[in-house]
Structure 1
Amino acid sequence: MRADAFLAAADALPLGSLDALAGTGGLVVVAPHPDDESLGCGGLIAAARAAGRRVHLVVISDGCGSHTHSALYPPEKLRTLREAETVRAVTLLGLSADDVTFLRLPDAHVPSNGPDAEAAARAVERAATACGASAAFVTWRHDPHCDHKAAAAIVSLARPAMPGVRIYEYPVWGWTLPPETEVGPEPTGLRLDVSAYRAIKARAVAAHESQTTDLISDDPGGFRLEPAMIERLCGPFERFVAVPA
């Protein structure tokens, strides 16, 4: 199926309740970078916490690839900043710092296999056990970013050790794919109505100031989220594509 048709079908997935989507247990959210959790799953996290569900976030990379030419924010300082932004963001959504695991793999070089990927998979497994997860959420395997693909591969590595845990993928960068890109069969899964949490999700996204503002002022070529992308991802629904067992 072409990417444009796939994403249109994802936008038209049936609406489902939190229970229908995720079962009755906790949730694990896997983000390749600090901010993907808010962009792709901010409404889900807020809804789950409002329902009293346990949620654990695993952030795979250190996020240091967003501003590689900044003297004000060299890698270690940038990593510290982005982790602090993530904690602020997810606190708005109902989590605490203890609900977040930072794996600090190198941004733009997250492995899909090998010892580091297997160690990351074990961290996902531990998070699932700790929160009694019935569902896990990770970026779409066809997102056009190597770390997003690797994050999906890491969850696939973890899956055999998480029997009964439903796996879903959430597109973040998928809409930037060339429309004719082949991405596999028609999606199944559900959309979640997050309209009640749009405002808090927008605040969580905005908490990632290094990615949404000119906070890092000495790297004009550094990354910045486009308003149109934020608007697309902060709509009334979030899309979750089921990954068959």
Structure 2
Amino acid sequence: MRAKDFFEAAQGLPIAPLDHIVGPGGVIVVAPHPDDESLGCGGLIALAQAQGRAVVVIIVSDGCGSHPNSRSHPPERLRALRQEETREAATALGLESSSVLFLGLPDRSVPQDGAAAEEAADAIADVARNIDASAILATWAHDPHCDHQAAWRIAAMAHRRLQTDRALLAYPIWGWSLPPDAEVGAAPEGWRLAIDDVLALKQRAIAAHRSQVTDIVENDPPVLILPESALEPFKRTYEIFLRGSP
């Protein structure tokens, strides 16, 4: 199916309650970079937390690739800033900062296989067991960023390790920007989650990622921050979750 047709169909997926989408247990959100968790799953995280579910956000990369030539924020300082922003975003969604785990793999070079990817999958599977997770969510396999694709593969590895009926779900971030004629496989299967009641919390979480939505970090040449036009899809009153296959 072409990307244009895929996303037109995805926007017509049925609205379903949280329990139907993620099952009865805990929820793990696997995000390739700090901010993807808020963009793609901010509403789901807030709703799950309000229900008293165990929710763990796992950030796969160190986030240092967003400003590779910054003099004001060399890698160590940028890493610390992006972790601080992610914890602030988690707090906005109702999570304790201890519910965010950073795996620290290299931004822009998250491995799709090999020892480091296997270790990351082991870590995700361990957390899933510890919180009795009924669902693992990760970025869509066709998202046009290598780290997003790697995060999906790592999450699928973790899912296979668990050997249970836990749900494996994908959330698209930048798939909207694919060329309209790009082939993305079969028609979408999944659901939309209504997030009207927590949309303000999601927007607060996105705004907490200041290094991505403002120019507080100097870089040479300047790095394009996320403009309002890029953030429009994340102002919808629903989030899309696609049924995945490991």
- Pair in the same fold by TM > 0.5: yes
Q: 1:58 to 1:234 in 2, by over 3 A?
A: same
CA contact (8 A) 1:110 1:150 kept: yes
Please state how far the C-alpha of 1:15 moved relative to its aligned partner.
Answer: 0.4
Which residue of 2 is the match for residue 6 of structure 1?
6
Which residue of 1 is the match for residue 78 of structure 2?
78
Structure 1 CA distance for aligned equivalents of residues 15 and 212 of structure 2: 30
Structure 2 CA distance for aligned equivalents of residues 78 and 110 of structure 1: 17
Which residue of 1 is the match for residue 174 of structure 2?
173
Which residue of 1 is the match for residue 230 of structure 2?
229
- The equivalences for 1:31-42 within 5 A come to 31-42=31-42
TM-score by length of 1: 0.97
Structure 1 CA distance for aligned equivalents of residues 107 and 127 of structure 2: 21
Please state how far the C-alpha of 1:218 moved relative to its aligned partner.
Answer: 4.2
Which residue of 2 is the match for residue 26 of structure 1?
26
SS in 2 for 1:56: strand
TM-superposition CA deviations, 1:94-148 (whole Å, max 9, x none): 1112111100100000000000000010111012112210011100000000000
Taking only the aligned residue pairs, the percentage that are identical comes to 49
Which residue of 1 is the match for residue 212 of structure 2?
211
SS in 1 for 2:66: coil
SS in 1 for 2:64: coil
Which residue of 2 is the match for residue 60 of structure 1?
60
CA contact (8 A) 1:39 1:234 kept: no
Please state how far the C-alpha of 1:229 moved relative to its aligned partner.
Answer: 2.1
SS in 2 for 1:211: helix
SS in 1 for 2:152: helix
Structure 2 CA distance for aligned equivalents of residues 116 and 55 of structure 1: 24
Please state how far the C-alpha of 1:220 moved relative to its aligned partner.
Answer: 4.9
Which residue of 2 is the match for residue 95 of structure 1?
95
SS in 2 for 1:65: helix
Structure 1 CA distance for aligned equivalents of residues 112 and 245 of structure 2: 19
Q: Which runs of 5+ in 1 are unaligned?
A: none
SS in 2 for 1:57: strand
Structure 1 CA distance for aligned equivalents of residues 9 and 171 of structure 2: 13
